[in-house]
Amino acid sequence: DGAAPLPTAVFVKDTGSSFRLPADPATPIIMVGPGTGVAPMRGFLQDRASSGARDNVLFFGCRGDDDFLYREELEGFQATGFLRLFVAFSRRVGSQKTYVQHLIAAQADLMRDLLGRGAHVYVCGDASKMAPDVRAAFAEILGGLPEVE
C-alpha cells in the first residue's frame, strides 16, 4: 500500500525466575497446578516429552469434569508413559471434595522417592490458600520440617 513501516522497539528482560525446568532431563519433576495454574505445567510436559524425560508427576485440581483443562492432552501424556497424573475434584457430583494437597499426602511414598532422587517441585496457582496447604503437605511428608524450600 506504499506506507512506510513504523519503527518497532522490543524490550526483553530476563526476570531471573527459578521457575525453569532442570537442565538434566533425568531429574524428576513434581508439578502442582490446579485450575489455570496447569498452563505452565503443560509447557513443561511438552518440553519433557520431546526430550524423552519420563519422571513427571502432575497434581491437577478442578471443580468437576467440565473444568478439567487439557484433559485429552494430559491423559495422552499419561497413556504414553510421560506423566503420572493425579486429579483432585473439589465439586464433582457424587464424589468427596478433594484438593491437590490431599492427593499429595496420599502419594507420600512416591513423593519421598522422587524428592530423594532430587526432584524439582513446581507450584502454580492460588498463593493465598492452595500454596500454603501444598507446602504443609510436603513438610508433613518430609517429617514435619518447618521450612520446605
pLDDT tens per residue across span 109-119:
999 999 999 99
Interacting residues of 58 by C-beta distance below 8 A, sequence separation 6+: 31, 32, 33, 38, 41, 45, 74, 83, 84, 85, 86
29 and 44 Cβ atoms separated by less than 8 Å: yes
pTM of the model: 0.85
Q: What b-and-e string marks burial along 53-62, b requiring 16 or more CB atoms within 10 Å of the CB?
A: bbbbbbbbbb
Grid coordinates in use for 61?
Answer: 485440581
68 confidence band (pLDDT: 50, 70, 90): confident
58 and 38 Cβ atoms separated by less than 8 Å: yes
Q: Is 34 exposed, middle or buried (0-12, 13-18, 19+ CB in 10 A)?
A: buried
Q: What is the 3-state secondary structure (H, E, C) of 19-66?
A: CCCCCCCCCCEEEECCHHHHHHHHHHHHHHHHCCCCCEEEEEEECCHH
- Greater confidence (105 vs 65) lies with 105
pLDDT tens per residue across span 16-65:
788 899 999 999 999 999 988 999 999 999 999 999 999 999 999 898 88
Determine which helix (DSSP H) or strand (DSSP E) holds 88, and give its type and residue range: strand 84-89
Rounded to an integer, what distance in angstroms lies between the CA atom of residue 28 and that of residue 118?
7
Give the residue-averaged pLDDT of 11-18: 72
145 confidence band (pLDDT: 50, 70, 90): low
13 confidence band (pLDDT: 50, 70, 90): low
Mean pLDDT, rounded, of the chain: 89
Rounded to an integer, what distance in angstroms lies between the CA atom of residue 58 and that of residue 15?
25
Q: Is the pLDDT of residue 97 over 60?
A: yes
